[in-house]
Amino acid sequence: MRLDLYQAETAYIAQEQTALLDEARAILLSERPLSRLEENGVLHAIQVLVENAIGKAKQLLKASGKQVPVSAYDSFHALADLGVIKVSSLAAWNATIGLRNRLVHDYMNIDMGRILELVRNEQYRFVTEFLMSPVQEVSDKA
């Protein structure tokens, strides 16, 4: 898929999932608890948002001719090495990827209170910003 088309799809998915999280946030800020169905929607929206970011990271590396790591963690480290993302953001990316892994593989041990706090504080916003940022040619910092 052409990188510009991939970016357009990525942005669309980011807008959709972010809108759902923003809606959940508004409900939480109104002091109404989310229903179990709404909580499930929050978990799914976060998972899709992060999966989308991992996919974009790998597409950027592929488009730059770089080897694409299997590990999402390694993909973001490679983007930091190329200057696409800030090295200082790696801790946040590592935590986000870890959250995605927990949602997918360790779903019986999710602390919903922590997830809802993440939504209340809009901690998903940096993922959306990455997804919405236009793709640029990636090259070595040599």
Locate the domains of the chain by residue range.
3-132
What is the DSSP secondary structure assignment for residue 88, as one 8-state letter? G
Q: Is the pLDDT of residue 138 over 60?
A: no
pLDDT bracket for residue 134 (50, 70, 90): confident
Give yes or no for residue 86 having a pLDDT over 80.
Answer: yes
The CATH architecture to which 3-132 belongs is Up-down Bundle (1.20)
Find the mean pLDDT for residues 96-121.
96
Total Cβ atoms within 10 A of residue 54: 19
Percentage of residues in the chain having pLDDT higher than 90: 87
pTM of the predicted structure, to 2 decimals: 0.91
pLDDT of residue 135: 73
The DSSP-derived string for 119-141 is HHTTTTHHHHHHHHSPP------
